[in-house]
Amino acid sequence: MPHWLETGIEYLKGVGPQRAEAIKKELGIHTLGDLLSHYPFRHEDRSRIYTISSIQGDGIWLQLQGVIRPTGIVGSGKGRRYTAQLNDGTGEITLVWFKGIVYLDRFIKTQTPYRIFGKINLFNGALNIAHPEIELVTAENSSSLLTLSPVYPLTEGLKRKKIENRFLVQMAHAAVTSNQFDIPENLPDAILSKFKFASRKDAVKELHFPQTLQRLEEAKRRLKFEELFYLQLRHLILKGNRNRSFKGIVFEKVGVHFNNFYTNFLPFELTQAQKKVLKEIRNDLKTGLQSNRLLQGDVGSGKTIVAMLTMLLAIDNGCQSSMMAPTEILAFQHYYSLQPWVNKLGLRIELLTGSTSKKKRILLLDSLASGEINILVGTHALIEKDVVFKKLGMVIIDEQHRFGVAQRAKLWTKGNAIPHVLVMTATPIPRTLAMTVYGDLDVCVIDEMPAGRIPIITVNRQESMRPAIMDFLRKEIAKGRQVYYVFPLIEDSEKLDLNSLMSGYDMVSGYLPPPDFTFSILHGKLKPAEKETEMQKFKLHQTDIMIATTVIEVGVDVPNASVIVIENAERFGLAQLHQLRGRVGRGNEQSYCILITKSGLSENGRKRINTMVRTNDGFEIAKVDLELRGPGEIDGTKQSGLLELKLADIRFDESILIASRVEAQQWLLEDELLVKPESKPIHQELQKIPNRTVWSKIS
């Protein structure tokens, strides 16, 4: 027999098929279970009835009770309204409605007590309430004052059909007071008692109709925990399944190439943090499990060398490696940074992108299949069907934010064994977000910058200060430094984009005229080969100034560049600004980031700019970014289950999130397959969660 929660809402007293249909359509609420998980987003205080004479001022919400004397329909056109006087014996107040006029005119009863709830306005020197909620006082509700009354999300469509909040309140109330009301528990007893949580049934009831504010908070705490617990559990189960279903290639030894490179060719001493993550990665690779790891590290923390050494581990164990980047520019960059190292070791590295010629491509695929190529660097072109490795053992995905989930899944078809995957993010993400978005990956962090880095000085300047800024650039260039000069991308219009870049070039070269000053220009409309030429010219210091759009945002590495100027900086997001700034500060010179803004910034814009000026710490910046934008806006969250959270908000519920993660881990440690009797509630709950098998394919 189906559970009571599966009952259709049309069977609730007073709902009926028509309204049920509208609610199903508008809110997706079909069953009583759906209804009770349509949580209120706030509560109104209906704990007392105020007297009209005691009302002090406007702007507050309150509840009144009295008899109504209609004054009828007045005004015309937009001003047409229905008005009435409410009298409670202590005074009178005007009630006014602009909608539902005819209905009110017909049905409002005089000489009968009504309960009124609404917001007090001051209008023309008198107090009134516009569009109050109005309800006849009946035998049933005369004594039962709801302490805190729920307010539910509604749609305009429902309002047009006269289904207002009050109706939903009645429905929810009917449901929780039904003598069949029951909600099965979905947390094990041990967890309930450990955290002193109320039962699910009580928590849901309190969430809709709390007796006190404190009980409301307790109910929320429990229900948030539950949401986060199941989110974490899902990640961990996914990881467990993956570990059980796929054997990882075992990298037993640290071999000749790794050792040769480490001893003879390492261009610098590794930082402690780099050594630490390398060790963690190495440990993964010999366990026999397929490794899925996220490597976090702020811009410039030196992820590339870690990737290089990781790829050598694969090669030393008879495998090939590949490194995938989101843009051609970045793929080129990686290729050029890795190539000299790889060549010194007598190994072969190749580049495959969308603009690799057909002829070259055929040859390249041949050598790839035969195993002659050790490392393949590329873009999306790497995941095309006909790209087949002899034995792919390690995949590095750089700047993974831009790779779609589906694209990553395709990697699995690249060889007969399942390669290890190391995802590198250039944009640090706060721990809470990492736990929710990448909860199924092992996470490691490079939390230290290479020694000798001088912190970048960031300033905010108005457009009017351009002459002084240009003087500064002149001096830096005279010292032998190079400059990035960035203009914002104009959305949806590459043509406008180019125009703004061209007028930007005119402007800058007006101050810093050629041939004394030399320019590279980089924008999205250039062909990849042209981009590469521009980039190389700058890299080889054949040019002083790089005029660019955000195409230079990620990965570009020119240590001699010491200044980045960003025009209209208020138009950029924090993550983007931080990435852009990361293009400088890569050498031994003091570097500068100059953020040029218009006056009159929005509050958010001001906060972003101030944050950039205040700190260089990518994790700190990511935290502010998360606060400003909310978790739903951050890249990569769509697939994470984060958006299904109804109560929890990882910005504010960090401690609950961490507790839930620990509990989920602990639980699976003791009962990995959830077969013990005490895991029954968990097992049952998981059955309800929609099928997500596709997840098991995604690293």
Interface residues with ligand ADP (CB under 6 A)?
A: 268-271, 274, 297, 299-305, 426, 450, 557, 559, 586
Q: Which does 566 bind (CB under 5 to 8 A by kind): Mg ion, ligand ADP, none?
A: none
Q: Which does 656 bind (CB under 5 to 8 A by kind): ligand ADP, Mg ion, none?
A: none
Picking from 162, 135, 137, 164, the residue whose alpha carbon sits closest to that of residue 151 is 164
Q: Is the dihedral of CA 25, 30, 35, 39 positive or negative?
A: negative
The residue (of 304 and 374) whose beta carbon lies closer to Mg ion is 304
* Phi-psi sector, 424: left (phi>0), alpha (psi -120 to 50), beta: beta
Which residues, 6+ apart, have CB-to-CB distance to 485 below 8 Å? Answer: 504, 508, 545, 546, 547, 548, 564, 565, 567
**Rounded CA gap, 247 and 480, in Å?**
53
Residue 289 pairs with which residues in a beta bridge? 247
Residue type, 229: F
The nearest distance, CB 585 to ligand ADP, in angstroms, is: 9
Whole-angstrom CA distances from 354 to 93, 350, 351, 394, 494 are 72, 14, 10, 22, 20
The nearest distance, CB 623 to ligand ADP, in angstroms, is: 19
Buried b (16+ CB within 10 A) or exposed e, 317-338: bebbbbbbbbbbbbbbbbbbbb
* Phi-psi sector, 16: left (phi>0), alpha (psi -120 to 50), beta: left
The residues binding Mg ion (CB under 5 A) are 555
The residue (of 426 and 595) whose beta carbon lies closer to ligand ADP is 426
The nearest distance, CB 682 to Mg ion, in angstroms, is: 40
Q: Which does 521 bind (CB under 5 to 8 A by kind): Mg ion, ligand ADP, none?
A: none
The nearest distance, CB 295 to Mg ion, in angstroms, is: 10
How many C-beta atoms surround the C-beta of residue 365 within 10 A? 19
The residue (of 301 and 356) whose beta carbon lies closer to Mg ion is 301
Q: Which does 299 bind (CB under 5 to 8 A by kind): ligand ADP, Mg ion, none?
A: ligand ADP
The residue (of 393 and 555) whose beta carbon lies closer to Mg ion is 555
Q: Shortest Cβ contact with Mg ion: which residue?
A: 555
Q: Which two tokens stand for residue 186?
A: 């979905």
The nearest distance, CB 590 to ligand ADP, in angstroms, is: 16
Among all chains, which residue has been given the structure tokens 């790779």? Answer: 403
**Rounded CA gap, 432 and 354, in Å?**
36
The nearest distance, CB 360 to ligand ADP, in angstroms, is: 27
How many C-beta atoms surround the C-beta of residue 487 within 10 A? 24
Q: Which does 255 bind (CB under 5 to 8 A by kind): Mg ion, ligand ADP, none?
A: none
Q: Shortest Cβ contact with ligand ADP: which residue?
A: 302
Distance between the two ends of the chain, CA-based, in angstroms? Answer: 40
The nearest distance, CB 466 to ligand ADP, in angstroms, is: 30
Q: Which does 305 bind (CB under 5 to 8 A by kind): Mg ion, ligand ADP, none?
A: ligand ADP
Q: Which does 300 bind (CB under 5 to 8 A by kind): ligand ADP, Mg ion, none?
A: ligand ADP
Q: Which does 557 bind (CB under 5 to 8 A by kind): ligand ADP, Mg ion, none?
A: ligand ADP
The nearest distance, CB 347 to Mg ion, in angstroms, is: 21
Q: DSSP string of 254-268?
A: --HHHHHIIIII-SS
The residue (of 208 and 293) whose beta carbon lies closer to ligand ADP is 293
